[in-house]
Amino acid sequence: MARPPSADFSSAPYRDPSVPVDARVADLMARMTLEEKIGQITGVWVQLEDIKASGQDEPAFLRKLLANGTGSIGPTQTLAVDDDVGFRNRMQRFLVEETRLGIPAMFHDEGCHGLVKPGASSFPCPIGLACSWDPVLAERIFVVVAGQMRSRGAQHALTPVIDVARDARWGRFDETMGEDPYLNARLGEAMVRGLQGSADGSVDDNHVLATLKHYIGHGSPEGGLNRSPSISTPRTLREVDFVPFAHVIKTTHPATVMPSYNEVDGVPVHASRSLLVDVLRGELGFKGLIVSDYEAVRLLHEGHHVAGSLADAGALALRAGVQLELPQAVSYLGLGDALAKGQVTLEQIDASVAPILAWKFRLGLFERPYADAARAKAAVDAQSGGELALEAARKSIVLLENNGVLPLAAGSLRTIAVIGPNADVVRLGGYPGTPVRAVSLLEGIRARVGAGARVVHSPGCILDKSDTGNAYHGWKFEQPVIAADPENAQLIAEAKAAAAQADVVILAIGENEAISRESWSVDHLGDASTLELRGSQRLLAEEVLSAGKPVVVYLSNGRPLEVGFLKGRAAAIIEGWYMGEQTGTAAAEILFGDVSPSGKLTVSFPASAGQIPAHYSRKPYAGPFPYQFSGSKPLWVFGHGLSYTSFRYESPRLREAEIAPDGETVALVDVVNTGARGADEVVQMYVHQDVSSVTRAVRELKGFMRIHLEPGERRTVSFPVAAEALALWDINMRLTVEPGTYQIIVGPSSSEGQSVALRVRGS
């Protein structure tokens, strides 16, 4: 049985908040046993259901589970506020009052696009939010996420995901911000600043520790299969994968980094001292805490087979630099024996314990260990994310195609048919919370038109027979069962009849949270071998199109889909991804022209899975010949997105047309709204080096700005152009700016724009 804190410790220096943190850490560590130290570098993950199933009462269960303390306690994702706060406080009270040294735990939660809890705000999933190209908006959102998370007793967020994602078959695509390292870096910086509330690495009582993940190469898994080996080469790691991590570490000092499950060039990242110490700490300058992904240390033995036992896996990961095993103690339980065998040193264990204790002191957990249920409920009641969620959805929805049918004129429509399996449900995406109120596309359209038009609805087809409409349940538990065409025949016939009587059809198709999600076991899959619409959705679309009425396709999905058959046939195509709790309101505002669409794609849409990779920043001689019997161009390119107005880009110019390798200039372009309505536009700047010592991409994003222009308004947009925008990793793997000519290209997407030449002098 754990012993209560000794009275002798009440006046110990580690108990005194006026003592500097380093001194408090040193004092506490000097008093700790080896078992207590190992407790601090391992996690605990327990649910109320686990305690009930054990047959023990809660105090007895906690005495066994937490006898030596713990570094971190995992999320309770399904508990309402009172139960959540109460359970966490009871675990914390045991640690504070009944363990020998009274060391509190940190709690961590998921917050990919909102806190994964009932009652929390739900924002667009990252791939959707990224399409806003708005770092200020991203920061504001993650301030809300941090506040709701901290109010429920968590201090550590396992987000953001800044993986550069280039294989749409991968089920975790919706957790990412797309295919470009520069954009991911700037949005990741904003998210960390929002979560931590600072750019200097400090965290106050209203914010949480941010976690950069997944380091490194996670977004390009072999075959698009989660956790598979990274296909990134050493050069690709430098040019692409490291870029967001390097930038965010430099600009916002995130508290923690989570290594990825995959291997890189034969070495699992959790076992790679080269990647974690030499590169992450040495080259990138990371000074924070390295925490394992869930069960990733165990997988060094059971998955990768680079360790002969669980204990060997723990020793290997600790030596590589992994400081905290999550979600619970498995491999690190053997560190005592590993120490006795000389596999690890006490200095290595201490080096992991110290930063965990330091964060507990900095967060004030020794002085303020408990959550306040009233504060947490107030955060729910305030619904501070409602208007912000609406703004985010408005800015993130992308208009892909439009033959002029949009915006809809509500007054001239008598009947609107809203059809499809995603019409009357809100798809929230992976790692979803459960917002108090969520608005479906159907609800949003009905609210917008009121009594002005008749709105008829037909589900069109059943996509997934296991689908309950509960995003969290679908993502976490459901095993999708795709309905076959014969099962959907009657629904498709009803949908066609509904379309025939309408003036316009809104066709809501795509995916759900069980079809596109993280694969973590053979019973929980989400990666795909095809990008085709699942089930009877293509048949549904063909039948609805055959009714001869204008069809606006509204996509809700977690990855780019193969929908080329709709181009030129649908009156309009909208990419809505998973837009959060205000999906329907925002979508209706865009459909009826209350808001002009302004989102731009952050991933290229391949015409089929066979085109992968399809990212815009290809090498000059990549795909010199098209596929036989099919083209090689994507359906829509990175940066693409239409508006209800038109913009004219005038010729870009440079403040200085020639600079030294360490010099700087400014690219300027005038953008004019030549249409009849005010709207936002995302101005994009790309760089291309005419001749280089090693091949580099035909275009690389190096600047962007979201602006608003009223009709006839002109604005000069400027972008700095310096070494960071021009440099490449040369033949000797040195980051350098080579003399020569560079094209600075400014335009509305990665395939459009005008260029101006910049000359870099020789040194």
- Phi, psi of 726, deg, nearest 5: -105, -20
Tens digit of each residue's pLDDT (9 = 90 or more) over 137-174: 999 999 999 999 999 999 999 999 999 999 999 999 99
The overall average pLDDT reported for the chain is 96
Average pLDDT over residues 759-763: 90
Average pLDDT over residues 308-334: 97
Closest to 224 (Cα-Cα) out of 607, 638, 559, 630: 559
Q: What percent of the chain has pLDDT over 90?
A: 94
Q: State which fold the 38-379 domain adopts.
A: TIM Barrel (3.20.20)
Residue 8 structure tokens: 């002798």
Q: Do residues 357 and 40 lie in contact, with contact meaning Cβ atoms separated by under 8 Å?
A: yes
The single-letter code of the amino acid at 621 is Y
Q: 343: which residues sit within 8 A by CB, 6+ positions away?
A: 312, 315, 319
Q: Is the pLDDT of residue 1 over 70?
A: no
Residue 96 structure tokens: 């504070």
Task: Report helix, strand and coil shares of the chain as percent, to nearest 5.
Answer: 35, 20, 45
pTM of the model: 0.96
Q: How far apart are CA 181 and CA 707, in angstroms?
A: 22
User: C-alpha distances in angstroms, 653 versus 249, 685, 702, 705?
Assistant: 32, 12, 16, 17
Helix axes 181-196, 135-151, angle to 10 degrees: 40
Tens digit of each residue's pLDDT (9 = 90 or more) over 367-401: 999 999 999 988 877 765 689 999 999 999 999 99
Q: Is the dihedral of CA 491, 492, 495, 501 positive or negative?
A: negative
The single-letter code of the amino acid at 437 is R
Q: How confident is the model at residue 417 (pLDDT cuts 50, 70, 90)?
A: very high
Q: How far apart are CA 357 and CA 70, in angstroms?
A: 11
Q: What percent of the chain has pLDDT over 70?
A: 99
The pLDDT of residue 629 = 87
Q: Is the pLDDT of residue 694 over 90?
A: yes
Q: Is the pLDDT of residue 6 over 70?
A: no
Q: Is the pLDDT of residue 2 over 90?
A: no
Average pLDDT over residues 562-583: 97
Active site residues: 293
The pLDDT of residue 3 = 47
CATH number for domain 397-591, candidates 2.40.160.20, 3.40.50.1700, 3.50.50.60, 3.40.50.300: 3.40.50.1700
Q: Is the pLDDT of residue 4 over 70?
A: no
Q: How far apart are CA 276 and CA 282, in angstroms?
A: 9
Burial per residue of 173-193, b for 16 or more beta-carbon CB atoms within 10 angstroms, e otherwise: bbbbbbbbbbbbbbbbbbbbb
Q: How far apart are the first and last CA of the chain?
A: 71
Tens digit of each residue's pLDDT (9 = 90 or more) over 177-228: 999 999 999 999 999 999 999 999 999 999 999 999 999 999 999 999 999 9
Tens digit of each residue's pLDDT (9 = 90 or more) over 546-567: 999 999 999 999 999 999 999 9
Is the N-terminal amide bond of 118 cis, ω within 30° of 0? Answer: no
Tens digit of each residue's pLDDT (9 = 90 or more) over 71-89: 999 999 899 999 999 999 9
Residue 290 structure tokens: 């390295």
Tens digit of each residue's pLDDT (9 = 90 or more) over 346-361: 999 999 999 999 999 9
Q: How far is CA 754 from the centre of its chain?
A: 32
Q: Do residues 710 and 701 lie in contact, with contact meaning Cβ atoms separated by under 8 Å?
A: no
Q: Is the pLDDT of residue 681 over 80?
A: yes
Tens digit of each residue's pLDDT (9 = 90 or more) over 500-521: 999 999 999 999 999 999 999 9
- Domain ranges in the chain are 38-379, 397-591, 647-760
Q: How far apart are CA 196 and CA 209, in angstroms?
A: 6
Q: Is the pLDDT of residue 284 over 60?
A: yes
The pLDDT of residue 7 = 53
Tens digit of each residue's pLDDT (9 = 90 or more) over 256-280: 999 999 999 999 999 999 999 999 9
The pLDDT of residue 77 = 86
The pLDDT of residue 423 = 98
Collapsing DSSP to helix, strand or coil, 267 comes out as strand
Q: How confident is the model at residue 9 (pLDDT cuts 50, 70, 90)?
A: confident
Average pLDDT over residues 694-702: 97
Q: How far apart are CA 89 and CA 224, in angstroms?
A: 41
- Phi, psi of 436, deg, nearest 5: -60, -40
The pLDDT of residue 384 = 57
Q: Decide if domain 647-760 falls under CATH 2.60.40.10.
A: yes
Tens digit of each residue's pLDDT (9 = 90 or more) over 80-131: 999 999 999 999 999 999 999 999 999 999 999 999 999 999 999 999 999 9
Q: Do residues 73 and 107 lie in contact, with contact meaning Cβ atoms separated by under 8 Å?
A: yes
The four Cα atoms 694, 697, 698, 704 give a dihedral, to 10 degrees, of -130
DSSP category for residue 167: -
Closest to 670 (Cα-Cα) out of 555, 572, 574, 747: 747
Closest to 753 (Cα-Cα) out of 704, 700, 682, 685: 685
The answer to whether the 38-379 and 647-760 domains have the same CATH topology is no
Tens digit of each residue's pLDDT (9 = 90 or more) over 462-483: 999 999 999 999 999 999 999 9
Average pLDDT over residues 677-681: 98
Determine how many CB atoms are found less than 10 A away from the CB of residue 627: 12
- Phi, psi of 613, deg, nearest 5: -80, 145
Cα 330–203–74 angle (5° rounding)? 25
